[in-house]
A = this chain, B = another copy of it.
Amino acid sequence: MTATIIDGKTIAAQLRGKIATDVAHLNAAHGIVPGIAVVLVGADPASEVYVRTKAKAVAEAGMRAIDKKLPVTTSEAELLALIAALNADPAVHGILVQLPLPPQIDSHRIISAIDPGKDVDGFHPLNVGRLASGLPTLAPCTPLGCVMLAKSVRPSLAGLEAVVIGRSNIVGKPVAQLLLMENATVTVAHSKTHDLPAVCRRADILVAAIGRPEMVRGDWIKPGAIVIDVGINRVPGKEGKSKIVGDVAFAEAAQVAGAVTPVPGGVGPMTIACLLLNTLRAARALNGLPALNL
């Protein structure tokens, strides 16, 4: 058996196209340009690359990116003051604070200070709670992307067994909530799980969000399963260069799974597309416009 490769790049491009269309309409009909503030404290090279990629995608969707670069010595009070200013700015519909933050700043305090209506990362406790309660909310981007990719091959996930490996607040737990909202039977497995391979073999949908290169082997996968690989791990490659691999041993998985996301080109592109989607949703909601169903 050879799995369908779930082409996250193409699916993300389609979603971004739909978003750009609605953004153009929003501007033409209401004079609104969705704006997202991306706050970067310090000069972490990986974060800088990521912020540039975001800015490019934001511009391509017809939105406005407001980049805020602060020195690594920024105090918590200074960052809170910036958040307050962005909360009050009507041109800003989304606020994203790039994590991690330097040690003098309490991330929880910063995230809780963001207006929940502008929290396009979906990390504010109020939005986490609304998601956990099944209420409409801004859900975290990577989990949203995972579920969209699963649904691209199987439009209804109802009644399927889903296993999520990893229980982070950023991926594992919110993706479990979203899968539950899709009526899947959802198991959250983690480092304390006994016989993880056996638990994974129950899964019709397996979401790997562990952060360990190629940990999920082919014989962990139920034949025909949908495998969503959230991992982005840099490992040594050929000729002294490094390469990026996921949490799933892709070549093995492709022999067993019904469908599998590649790394790169799977979940990654969807995360940025879902950030645009959340910004659009926030801009509509903040302007009292009805929700979109993209």
Q: Hey, which bits of chain A sit against chain B, CB under 8 A?
A: 108, 124-135, 158-161, 167, 169, 173, 176-177, 180, 183-190, 192-194, 199
- Whether A132 and B135, one on each chain, are in contact in the complex, defined by CB atoms closer than 8 angstroms, is no
User: Most chain-B CB neighbours within 10 Å: which of A128, A167, A185, A193?
Assistant: A185
Which residues of B are found within 8 Å of A125, using beta-carbon distances?
126, 129-130, 133, 135
Which residues of B are found within 8 Å of A190, using beta-carbon distances?
180, 183, 185
* Contacts A185-B199, A186-B188 given; does A193 touch B132 at CB 8 Å: no
Query: CA–CA, A184 to B194, complex, Å?
Result: 9
Which residues of B are found within 8 Å of A199, using beta-carbon distances?
185
16 A-B pairs (CB sep. < 8 Å): A108-B135, A126-B126, A128-B129, A128-B130, A129-B130, A129-B131, A131-B132, A133-B169, A158-B192, A183-B190, A184-B192, A185-B189, A185-B192, A185-B193, A185-B194, A187-B187
- Whether B185 and A180, one on each chain, are in contact in the complex, defined by CB atoms closer than 8 angstroms, is no
- Whether A180 and B159, one on each chain, are in contact in the complex, defined by CB atoms closer than 8 angstroms, is no
Task: Look across to chain B and name the residue whose beta carbon is closest to the beta carbon of A112.
Answer: B126
Task: Look across to chain B and name the residue whose beta carbon is closest to the beta carbon of A127.
Answer: B129
- Whether A185 and B188, one on each chain, are in contact in the complex, defined by CB atoms closer than 8 angstroms, is yes
Interchain CB contact (< 8 A) of A180 among B158, B161, B167, B180: B167
Query: CA–CA, A131 to B169, complex, Å?
Result: 11
- Whether B183 and A192, one on each chain, are in contact in the complex, defined by CB atoms closer than 8 angstroms, is yes
A27 to chain B, nearest CB (A): 32
- Whether A193 and B133, one on each chain, are in contact in the complex, defined by CB atoms closer than 8 angstroms, is no
A177 to chain B, nearest CB (A): 8
